[in-house]
Structure 1
Amino acid sequence: MLSKRSRTVLAGLALALLFPSSSAPQAADDTPPPAAPSAEPKAASPESVPAAKIVPAAGPETSRTEPEITLAVGKPAPPFAVASWVKGEPIDSLKPGQVYVVEFWATWCGPCLQGMPHISQLQTDYGDKVRIIGISKEEENVVKEFLAKDREEGVTWDQTVKYSLAMDAENGMFTSWFRAAGRSGIPCAFLVGKDGVIEWIGHPQQIDEPLAKVTEGTWDRKAAIAEYEAEIQRMKLAAVTRRLQVEISVAMRAKEYDKALSLVDELAEAMPGSPLPSTVRLTVLSQSGRTEEATALIDELVKQDWDKGELLTGLASGIATARFPGTLENAERLARRAVELSEEKSPGPIHTLARVFAEKGQLDDAIAWERKALALAENNVTILRTLREYESLKDAAQKPTEAAKP
């Protein structure tokens, strides 16, 4: 069996695989982190980086009233007003007959920086047909210092950025555009048509097709409005679930388990048909020491999921790491079934089966299965680090044996 330290390390490494993210582009909360990171973005792609809209940590005072969304696709663009310009020719308003892209960004936002070459290429390709303007609510000197830095050897960010950059005036643009649209993650782009109406809102990496159709005059505004209205409903649901998960977390830290379970009931009502409330309920029952109820819920979930495989991987991992009650034999049974359902084509279940073997002390089996997972997800940092950890544990276990030899 793995040591307590190894189990803690590997539990953290497994999270990304047990709860796979969408392939949508990455976004970050528009509130800067406590410590400013390097101006250099980490190399990543939308396929390999979670598309999380990171929400600032909330405490017990978290509001149960969701923000009203007053700006959407199909509505006139709000007034355009900035404090100053860092790049590009200044304007005091959006002119009729011109297509605009207004993008909200920040120098500390990795996904924003990753997208800058793409946006710059769009500005180059469209020329005068489109005016792209990046809006930051940071201090002007911060943006200027950022532009003076190298993006890569011999090329500064100022040389990279081919579109206009302006500074928000007392968060006015962020309030009347970004917040009014209910957005929480940057970068976020607003595509404004020639008649001053917002045609599209979203991650700038996904703007190519809408921008081409708007400039060509082939954009279907009615369809875009309907699609965005559906997105608004998804955003509202996401806001509700985020709030409930924060409140559940607060209740758990306070060991108010009955309150946490009541909040899980609310989560289930907000997410009918989703497996998330059941897995959260299992976590509450397990951490509160209600082992019989937790075990009964695991049995129920396994029966429901035996032919689907949506929950088996997470259940197996939870049991293997002692977050959920159960034996390692049961964890292996669930992991093997998940691998079988995936036809050994998905790295997540295989990674989890390897984890079970590691917990059982069968490091040769763990290494063999982890290598299979790595073959399906080349260069996956989580799997690679886990494999190295298993190999290191095996080496450490062999040293005493070798030292005892005459």
Structure 2
Amino acid sequence: MTIRKYLQLLLCFLSFNSVAQSQEKPTLDIGDPAPPLQVREWIKGEPIQQMERGHIYVVEFWATWCKPCIEAMPHLSKLAAKYKDKVSIIGVDVYEKESTSAGKIKAFVDSMGGRMDYHVAIDDSNHMEEEWIVAFDEKKNGIPRTFVVNAEGQMAWIGHPKDLDSVLQKIVNNDWNISRSKIKRNEEAHFQKLQKETIYFLNQYMNEPNLLLSKVNSLLEKEPRLKRSPYIPVYVFSALLKTDQKQAYEYAKSILTEPDRDHANISYLFIGAIQFHAETSSLLPEIYAIGAEAYEKYKDADNAKISNLSKYYNDMASWYWLANNKPKAIETQQKSIEALKNQKEYSTSELATRESQLKEYKEKEIGK
């Protein structure tokens, strides 16, 4: 796999369909009248036939397979209770697999109990997807996705449920500036588009590190906003890994300690870059040290959802060892074993491998 191909795959997390420019043009924006509700079936709460003036509605798009959606549900339930006389929260199930029946969706909702304590419905023939998600150009952002309709029936805000608290309070208090919200949303959309174009452009120079660094500098001079992009650092870091590893370390260190950065995404990208270069190059201990730091940053980030924590710690421990930080390698390997034992089911052979690695670390540390 070429480094260019590696980055093309890695950067796909912008969204599942962001690698290709969307052919669908948005027809609605913040401030426009909200589309009507059209659902197939209400499976929890009193059915809401239409949105009434003088009342506020939160429409949350989710799916049974979506972990971030599930994690947001208890919080949405608290908001539903807090604003029960002024706000109705509606969870609309979308993007389900064909094999997921209405019965399975209802069983899931029932199993959530009070953690999903608001109105819940199932999309009707993709109507809500088309008239809401697609019409407002939100498909690129995936789910969970939250739409807030104010008391005048206007779309007031669209975003991630984790950002809903302060927004909803201002809308309830009639202190929300729709015009400002629209401008901010459109600026963010433009910046996302700019980042995609930058990725396509820089991928051409991945095999020419010095030229790549020159192109990055030129882009930043023309568009300083790109300095805040989580994607620019991985191009610079990857190029420096080929030309000057000590400088690569210093650069990565400065980025990971810089405030107001998207440290989760940057850390994820740095980890991938080191993994790739480790397959073909001899890396300095400092690079593995910064890689282990990136592992820590990604783990601690609010949006870092790690499916196999035991393996994650195991990989991190190996980098601490390669960075000559033996005590930290031992400590992290122990966490790997604890995480594996905390799983409901785990392989005894995998546990034996983890314990054998820990034993090796300790023996080598004692015999140093």
Find out whether 1:123 has 2:77 as its counterpart: no
Instruction: Give, as a single letter, the amino acid of the residue that structure 2 aligns with 1:56.
Output: F
Q: 1:133 to 1:303 in 2, by over 3 A?
A: closer
The superposition leaves residues 196-227 of structure 1 with CA deviations (integer Å, 9 ceiling, x where unpaired) of 11222222343233333433xx33232x5324
Aligned mates of 1:327, 1:111 — CA distance in 2: 36
TM-score (norm 1): 0.56
CA distance in 1, matches of 2:286, 2:190: 38
2:187 corresponds in structure 1 to 233
Q: State the partner residue of 1:393.
A: 357
Alignment of 1:246-257 (within 5 A): 257=207
Partner of 2:156: 199
Structure-1 separation of matches of 2:176 and 2:87: 18
Counterpart in the other structure of 1:76: 33
Give the counterpart of 1:322 among 269, 278, 292: 278
Cα displacement (A) at 1:327: 5.2
Q: Flag the 1:193–1:301 CA change in 2: closer, same or farther, 3 A.
A: same
Distance 1:199 1:329 in 2: 51
Residue in structure 1 matching 2:322, options 351, 359, 363: 359
Q: Which runs of 5 or more structure 2 residues have no equivalent in the other structure? A: 1-11, 259-265, 302-313, 341-351
1:176 to 131, 137, 148: 131
Q: Are 1:100 and 1:130, in contact at CA under 8 Å, matched by a contact in 2?
A: yes
> Using the alignment, how far apart are the partners of 1:127 and 1:306 within structure 2?
47
> Which residue pairs with 1:145 in the alignment?
104
Contact kept, 8 Å, 1:74 with 1:199, in 2: the verdict is yes
Decide which of 228, 243, 251 is 1:295's aligned counterpart: 243
Inter-CA distance 284–169: structure 2 relative to 1 (3 Å threshold): farther
Q: Are the equivalent residues in 2 in contact too, given 1:74–1:198 (CA < 8 A)?
A: yes
- TM-score, normalising length: structure 2: 0.60
1:309 Cα deviation from its structure 2 partner: 6.0
The answer (yes or no) to whether the contact 2:90–2:120 under 8 Å persists in 1 is yes
Contact 2:240–2:247, Cα closer than 8 Å, also in 1? no
CA contact (8 A) 1:367 1:391 kept: no
- Residues 188 and 203, structure 1, Cα contact 8 Å, conserved in 2: yes
SS in 1 for 2:174: coil
Q: Deviations over 1:83-117 (max 9, x none)?
A: 33333443443222222111111121112222223
From 216, 220, 224, the counterpart of 2:175:
220
Task: Using the TM superposition, give the Cα deviation of residue 71 of structure 1 relative to its aligned residue in structure 2, in angstroms.
Answer: 3.3
Deviation at 1:77, TM superposition (A): 1.3
* Greater fraction of residues in helix: 2
Deviation at 1:284, TM superposition (A): 6.2
Q: Is the 8 A contact 1:135 1:165 kept in 2?
A: yes
Distance 1:380-1:267 versus aligned 2 partners, 3 A rule:
farther
Q: Taking structure 1 as reference, are residues 324 and 67 closer, same or farther at Cα in structure 2, changes over 3 Å only?
A: farther
Match among 64, 76, 80 for residue 107 of structure 1: 64
Cα distance in structure 2, aligned partners of 1:306 and 1:132: 43
Q: Distance in 2 between matches of 1:333 and 1:114?
A: 32
Q: 3-state DSSP class of the match of 2:42?
A: strand
| Structure 2 residue 90 is matched with structure 1 residue 133 | yes
Q: Assess, with a 3 A threshold, how the Cα gap between structure 1 residues 326 and 231 changes in structure 2: closer, same or farther.
A: farther
CA–CA distance in structure 1, aligned partners of residues 194 and 23 of structure 2: 7
Task: Kindly indicate whether the alpha-carbon contact (under 8 Å) linking 2:326 and 2:361 is maintained by their aligned counterparts in 1.
Answer: no
Q: Is the 8 A contact 1:148 1:158 kept in 2?
A: no
The residue type paired with residue 118 of structure 1 is H
Checking the alignment, whether the CA contact within 8 Å between 1:328 and 1:356 is kept in structure 2 is no
Give 1 or 2 for the bigger CA radius of gyration.
1
Distance 1:392 1:234, change over 3 A: farther
Equivalent residue letter for 1:112: C
How many Å separate the matches in 2 of 1:125 and 1:243?
43
Could you tell me how far 1:244 is from its partner in structure 2?
A: 5.3
- Count of matched residue positions in the alignment of Structure 1 and Structure 2: 312
Relative to 1, partners in 2 of residues 1:54 and 1:136: Cα closer, same or farther, differing over 3 Å?
Answer: farther
- The amino acid of 2:123's aligned partner reads D
Counterpart amino acid of residue 181 in structure 1:
F
Pairwise mapping of residues 147-162 of structure 1 onto structure 2 (< 5 A)?
A: 147-149=106-108, 156-157=111-112, 161-162=116-117
Unpaired stretches in structure 1, ≥5 consecutive residues: 1-51, 287-293, 382-387, 401-406
Residue 162 of structure 1, CA deviation? 3.2
What's the CA shift for 1:73?
3.1
CA change 1:107–1:203 in 2 (3 A) is: same
Residues 15-36 of structure 1, C-alpha deviations (whole Å, 9 max, x = no match): xxxxxxxxxxxxxxxxxxxxxx
- Mapped partners of 2:317, 2:122: distance in 1: 51
Q: 1:143, CA displacement in angstroms?
A: 3.9
Letter in structure 2 aligned against 1:233 = E
- Offset from partner CA, 1:46-82 (integer Å, 9 cap, x none): xxxxxx97622677xx23x675444333332123333
CA contact (8 A) 2:54 2:151 kept: yes
Q: Return closer, same or farther for 1:247/1:173 CA change in 2, 3 Å cut-off.
A: farther
Aligned residue number for residue 279 of structure 1: 234
